[in-house]
């Protein structure tokens, strides 16, 4: 890899500089999260990991294995519970998840599922995960340490796209240039105090929960806005999770309409979130 000085002096050009800074940003975001042997912080309270799942039989094993092998869970297992909320799946999602953790049921709608899981949870801290993501071994440790600050009501972290180099570059620069990451909560990669959730009234469950865009706005923007009135939201850049390309793509309405994949067609028809 060329240095910045070498790129300028030798004329390696804009492409080399762009590649250099992309790799630096990627390294800054991922070096700590993969450190399985990092110093583990004892959780500040009981932690409930809540995972809504609708027809995720192809992904949920990877998700659950990555969560249950977190270094902080392996060291302090008595502080954790993991709850998969079966959101009226028609495939084997529920049967598969039961091999790893407790499974409860909620009617269709991602926010219905998350809300049901939060009500069922025994933890003081709720960790929001999605059923199609990978969580590196030091991820939860980096997230939870912020709750030792009593003023912190929530922690947000970025997600990076799995896939080819283009996906990697796009997600790294999107995260680096997005100005509001301290003020939102990624549905796949965040945590908040259970008490704070109910104090601000939780999610608005009356929205159209078959509309991916409305779900994202309520879960990630509106809810975070309400939490900011009662405490701090911290952003942990060094704790990204990794989501499939189809998850990242579903956030863009244009991509949903242009894509010919079965997944996007189901989203467009309101058959899944």
Residue corresponding to tokens 């990794």: 242
In a domain, residue 174? The reply is: yes
Find residue 235's DSSP bridge partners.
156
**Helix, strand, coil percent values for the chain (each to nearest 5):** 45, 15, 40
Q: Which of 124, 100, 126 is nearest to 115 (CA)?
A: 126
Specify the pTM. Answer: 0.82
Please state, in angstroms and rounded to a whole number, the distance separating the CA atoms of residues 49 and 63. 12
Q: Are residues 20 and 106 in the same domain?
A: no
Judged against a pLDDT cut of 60, whether residue 261 lies above it is answered with no
Q: Are residues 159 and 121 in the same domain?
A: yes
Q: How confident is the model at residue 161 (pLDDT cuts 50, 70, 90)?
A: confident
Average pLDDT for residues 97-111, to the nearest whole number?
96
Please state, in angstroms and rounded to a whole number, the distance separating the CA atoms of residues 121 and 138. 23
Q: Are residues 25 and 87 in the same domain?
A: no
In a domain, residue 35? The reply is: no
Q: Are residues 15 and 69 in the same domain?
A: no
State pLDDT tens for residues 173-192: 566 556 566 678 999 999 99
Other CB atoms within a 10 A radius of the CB of residue 30 amount to 17
Number of domains in the chain: 2
Domain of 220, CATH number, reads: 3.90.550.10
Distances from the Cα of 37 to the Cα of 19, 45, 46, 64, 193, angstroms: 29, 22, 22, 20, 27
* Domain interval for residue 24: 1-30
Please state, in angstroms and rounded to a whole number, the distance separating the CA atoms of residues 3 and 6. 5
Judged against a pLDDT cut of 60, whether residue 238 lies above it is answered with yes
Q: Are residues 4 and 118 in the same domain?
A: no
Q: Are residues 22 and 46 in the same domain?
A: no
What are the strands, taking DSSP E only, across 6-112? 47-53, 80-86, 102-105
The average confidence (pLDDT) of the chain is: 83
Q: Are residues 137 and 20 in the same domain?
A: no
């Amino acid at each position: 890899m060329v240095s910045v000085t070498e790129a300028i002096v030798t004329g390696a050009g804009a492409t080399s500089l762009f590649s250099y800074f992309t790799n630096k940003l990627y390294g800054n975001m991922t070096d700590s999260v993969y450190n399985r042997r990092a110093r583990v912080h004892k959780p500040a309270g009981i932690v409930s990991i809540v995972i809504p799942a609708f027809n995720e039989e192809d992904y949920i094993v990877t998700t659950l294995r990555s969560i249950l092998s977190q270094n902080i869970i392996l060291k302090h297992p008595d502080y954790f519970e993991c709850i998969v909320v079966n959101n009226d799946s028609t495939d084997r999602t529920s049967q598969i998840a039961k091999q790893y953790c407790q499974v409860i049921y909620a009617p269709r709608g991602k926010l219905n599922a998350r809300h049901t899981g939060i009500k069922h949870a025994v933890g003081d801290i709720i960790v929001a995960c999605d059923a199609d993501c990978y969580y590196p071994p030091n991820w939860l440790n980096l997230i939870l340490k912020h709750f030792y600050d009593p003023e912190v009501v929530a922690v947000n972290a970025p997600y990076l796209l799995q896939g080819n180099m283009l996906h990697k570059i796009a997600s790294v620069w999107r995260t680096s240039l997005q100005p509001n990451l301290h003020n939102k909560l990624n549905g796949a990669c965040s945590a908040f105090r259970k008490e704070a959730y109910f104090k601000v009234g939780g999610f608005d469950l009356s929205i159209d929960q078959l509309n991916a865009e409305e779900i994202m706005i309520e879960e990630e923007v509106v809810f975070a806005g309400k939490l900011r009135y009662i405490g701090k939201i911290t952003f942990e850049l060094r704790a990204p999770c990794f989501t499939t390309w189809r998850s990242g793509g579903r956030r863009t309405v244009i991509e949903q309409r242009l894509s010919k994949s079965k997944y996007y067609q189901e989203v467009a028809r309101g058959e899944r979130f």
